Amino acid sequence: MPSLRDIKKRIASIKSTGKITKAMKMVSAAKLRKTQNAMTQARPYAQKIKEILSNISSGVEEGAHPLLTAREIKKIEVLVITSDRGLCGAFNTNVLKKAVLFIKEQEKNGIEVSITTIGKKARDHFKRRKIPIRQSVVDITSSPNIYDKAKDIALGIIELYSNGTIDASSVVFNEFKNVVTQIPTAANMLPIEKIGTEEQSQPKDFIFEPTELEILNDLLPKYVEIQIFRAILESRTSEEAARMVAMENATKNTNELIDKLTLQYNKARQASITAELMDIVGGAAAIEA
């Protein structure tokens, strides 16, 4: 049985841990408000560019632009987004499981896979399993301009697709639903599919100014950039939400553990006092005898 000193030291240690987890929860809560606001502002922009692309793509011919041209898929680029830090529950585990399943499904169909990772957790995961990584980007969420980073990644993937190195590209990330729910999602990026309802997909007679090709050259890469940018923001918001919940649960666990150890300490202290009293009573009885 541990001594009173050992129990007391353990209680003090757990109290210190509880203070840290509580502070981390408060920090994550503050960051969550900031990142959720950025994500909420980006969603309407992403939706609007999707609507514009839907209208324009319905008015152009098949093969009007390389990014709209689907071909037989022999090689695919998979962009996997995780966090750089841990202590966020099952956030990274869930998205990595989704990525591995998606990659295995592609390989099962005879498709070669190349990987781009965002976040140290994804990079380390695939390195440990000796899976080749084409490109690795870390500390992107701490960058003052995330969009520029997303743009650089998008341009690299677009170049690979345009020169025929890859035939498709997808992104795997955690989509934010609410504070307690983040959904691992695999979304197609390239080739860009014609989007919209059956009515929207009917051919339309557009007049392009300056030219159809120039507009598509500007709009289609922008759409890919926005997709990656939005996925990063969704992942970042999901990470802070998951970390806040994880730290809240950790704080509750420390409080429960402190209560149990305090009870154990009081019982041990009571037993020690009782033993001392018994020794005194026994000594007194021996003297009287």
For residue 200, pLDDT beyond 70: no
For residue 165, what are its two tokens? Answer: 């190195």
User: What does the pLDDT average to over 112-141?
Assistant: 91
Q: Distance between CA 265 and CA 11 in Å, rounded?
A: 9
The dihedral sign for the CA sequence 227, 140, 26, 256: positive
pTM score, whole prediction: 0.85
Q: Where are the domains of the chain?
A: 4-21+247-283, 31-245
User: What does the pLDDT average to over 214-226?
Assistant: 86
Q: What interhelical angle do 4-57 and 212-288 show, nearest 10?
A: 170
CA–chain centroid gap for 55, Å, is 32
What's the pLDDT score for residue 194?
A: 63
Quote the CATH superfamily of domain 31-245: ATP synthase, F1 complex, gamma subunit (3.40.1380.10)
Return the percentage of the chain with pLDDT > 90, whole number: 55
Is the CB of residue 30 less than 8 Å from the CB of residue 281? no
CA–chain centroid gap for 59, Å, is 37
Edge to edge, what strands does the sheet with 168-178 contain? 135-137, 112-118, 75-81, 168-178, 181-190
Backbone Cα Rg of the chain: 29
Is the CB of residue 133 less than 8 Å from the CB of residue 116? yes
DSSP 8-state assignment for residue 196: S
Using one digit for the tens of pLDDT, what is the confidence trace for 118-130? 999 999 999 998 8
- pLDDT band, residue 289 (cuts 50/70/90): low
- pLDDT band, residue 197 (cuts 50/70/90): very low
Collapsing DSSP to helix, strand or coil, 126 comes out as helix
For residue 158, pLDDT beyond 70: yes
Give the number of other CB atoms < 10 A from CB of residue 23: 12
For residue 255, what are its two tokens? Answer: 């409080």
* pLDDT, mean over the chain: 86
| Catalytic residue (choose from 11, 60, 79, 88) | 88
Q: Distance between CA 15 and CA 251 in Å, rounded?
A: 9
Q: Distance between CA 17 and CA 167 in Å, rounded?
A: 50
Q: Which of 196, 209, 198, 214 is nearest to 57 (CA)?
A: 196
Active-site annotation holds for 88: yes
Is the CB of residue 171 less than 8 Å from the CB of residue 187? yes
What's the pLDDT score for residue 47?
A: 84
Q: Which of 88, 143, 148, 151 is nearest to 121 (CA)?
A: 88
Collapsing DSSP to helix, strand or coil, 142 comes out as coil
Is the CB of residue 156 less than 8 Å from the CB of residue 177? no
For residue 203, pLDDT beyond 60: no
